[in-house]
Amino acid sequence: MIGLISATAAGAAARDRLAAAWPDRTRVYEGPVADAVRTAFAQCEQLVCFLATGAVVRLVAPLLSGKTEDPGVVCVDEGGRFAVSLLGGHAGGANELAREVGDLLGAEPVVTTATDAVDLAGLDTLGLPVEGDVAGVSRALLDGEAVALRSEVAWPLPPLPVTDQGSYTIRVTDRLVEAAEREVVLRPPTLVVGVGASRGAPVEEVLGLVEEALREAGLSVASVAELATVDAKAEEPGIVEAAGRLGVPLVTYSAEELAGVDVPNPSDAPLAAVGTPSVAEAAALIGGGELLVPKRKSAASPAMATCAVVRRPGRGRLAVVGLGPGARDLLTPRAQAELRRASVLVGLDQYVDQIRDLLRPGTRILESGLGAEEERARTAVEEARKGQAVALIGSGDAGVYAMASPALAEASDDIDVVGVPGVTAALAAGAILGAPLGHDHVSISLSDLHTPWEVIERRVRAAGEADIVVTFYNPRSRGRDWQLPKALGILAEHRTPQTPVGVVRNASRPDESSRLTTLGSLDPATVDMMTVVTVGNTATRDIAGRMVTPRGYRWQSAQEGSE
């Protein structure tokens, strides 16, 4: 819950905008400001104070307990110009809250933690349990000192300016180790604990067995991702409470699913009880991984609980990101977030240049020139398979004549793939021209490098016969100068010379140009590979210099009837 406090009418107006936008996340605190701050500080996870920063500092100072207990506090000035992360930037989430408030109110977010100020990922903001010298290693990163990354298990981390060797260390491990001097230990959730239990098994026995098994195997309980068992034990109190105390989810599988898992230690007892020869080992192994602790029983007599532990390495992550047509304000917030998240960026060199300033320090860039699409796709998938967080970029929408298709053809189910849509060239050009795509439309690439011309010609002819608006991608290059005239000629067999045609070059970029012409007047020699050509259908009209295709043909018939 976010507490909202204001002292003036201007502050109250901005406060109410937040309350209206986030009705389920916020609570307004009225009354004397000092009382409101004290009450909200005790009741809420975060506060947004429409007050002077100095006043808020004096009010919250006596209330402070520690960085892990205090709420995040954001201050917004009376003019609504700045949203300042005042307290709990990382642990309290105030930095992210300042950005959210800024987006909503049009204020500039001001983050005050050192790592955020220079756009470094904070070691305590990675969503992983962290131990050791966080302040010292963070300071070393900020100062540009050599910080080594030791990944004992694969896990997709955000970009960090690390090296192979250094006097400071970031260690990624699920082992039960203590952080050394000048070291931070990150605990990725790589361990799956399969559990089985007799009816009425006490939580102390289940939990004690799990903790003992981890400790004796030299594994950290902080890296446990989940407890897993059979559906029949989904409501077994001892197992449910053990998962709750560990703070991890309880995942269940059917007996049929577990019976299909090959395990080293099957048994007749669970087969008779719940219909599978293995519960603990099968539940841990069902998602794959390395069996670190084979099935073991609790020390109680009679033993009422069993467990097994599997290491399930972190899956690499591939984000296929569409950058849009080129203008920065047409790059989506989701795309920007994925660029900041990726530790490896793969892309065409000219596209990398467009967004290089958005990348965080430590991002490894793998760029190449034109004509290497398949190679880039393979590289991105290979990096993801190593457990990296990868962004593969393309212009427009990455799924439209771009990188998503070759990347997904290479990828298998051993990595996570996320698609991030972008504004396509056809949409960007359409917005410039007016509304040419108001009815059915199709995009056709005239490049015959990957598609035989006979196939392209058949598709153009079908679009002409179906009276569909056509957007031509890759319409003409120095080596391909006859395809566009041929395609226009095919459409001319089904449309009049007066059919509107829109021509847009470098849509949304500084040297953007556009013009509206007709099918009979277009000179193909004025078109190049940076151009998108949109040919209207029989209903498309030039209205006040804008290309408009009506949503239905009834509109066009009515227009003709009134002339």
**Cβ neighbours of 14 (radius 10 Å):** 25
What is the C-alpha separation between 72 and 86, in angstroms, rounded?
A: 8
CATH of the domain at 342: 3.40.1010.10
261 lies in the same domain as 377: no
What is the C-alpha separation between 33 and 8, in angstroms, rounded?
A: 10
CATH of the domain at 282: 3.30.420.180
The pLDDT value recorded for residue 123 is: 84
The pLDDT value recorded for residue 111 is: 82
CA dihedral (240, 244, 250, 255) in degrees, to 10, reads -20
Is there a domain that residue 561 lies in?
Answer: no
Is there a domain that residue 560 lies in?
Answer: no
305 lies in the same domain as 202: yes
32 lies in the same domain as 139: no
Is there a domain that residue 529 lies in?
Answer: yes
**Is residue 419 pLDDT above 90, yes or no?**
yes
453 lies in the same domain as 520: yes
Is there a domain that residue 562 lies in?
Answer: no
CATH of the domain at 6: 3.40.50.11220
CATH of the domain at 474: 3.30.950.10
What is the C-alpha separation between 43 and 31, in angstroms, rounded?
A: 16
87 lies in the same domain as 128: no
**Is residue 556 pLDDT above 60, yes or no?**
no
306 lies in the same domain as 324: no
Is there a domain that residue 57 lies in?
Answer: yes
**Average pLDDT over every residue of 136-154:** 91
Q: pLDDT digit string (tens) for 213-229?
A: 999 999 999 999 999 99
Contact 484, 519 (CB under 8 A): no
211 lies in the same domain as 93: no
Q: Give the mean pLDDT of the chain.
A: 91
443 lies in the same domain as 465: yes
3-state secondary structure of 93: coil
The amino acid at 4: L
550 lies in the same domain as 430: yes
Is there a domain that residue 294 lies in?
Answer: yes
Q: Which of 9-18, 319-328, 425-434 has the lowest mean pLDDT?
A: 9-18
The DSSP string of 369-437 is -TT-HHHHHHHHHHHHHTT-EEEEEESB-TTSSSSHHHHHHH--TTSEEEEE----HHHHHHHHHEETT
**Domain encompassing residue 137:** 123-186
430 lies in the same domain as 408: no
- Report the number of distinct structural domains present in the chain: 5
Q: How confident is the model at residue 372 (pLDDT cuts 50, 70, 90)?
A: confident
547 lies in the same domain as 435: yes
CA distances from 506 to 135, 324, 379, 474, 503 (A): 47, 12, 28, 12, 10
Q: How confident is the model at residue 554 (pLDDT cuts 50, 70, 90)?
A: low
Among 404, 423, 442, identify where a domain stops.
423
Is there a domain that residue 117 lies in?
Answer: no
Q: pLDDT digit string (tens) for 64-118?
A: 988 778 999 999 988 889 999 999 887 788 888 998 999 889 999 888 776 666 6
Q: Which of 273-277, 463-467, 499-503 has the lowest mean pLDDT?
A: 273-277
Is there a domain that residue 563 lies in?
Answer: no
Highest mean pLDDT among 39-43, 158-162, 354-358, 459-463: 459-463
**Is residue 558 pLDDT above 60, yes or no?**
no
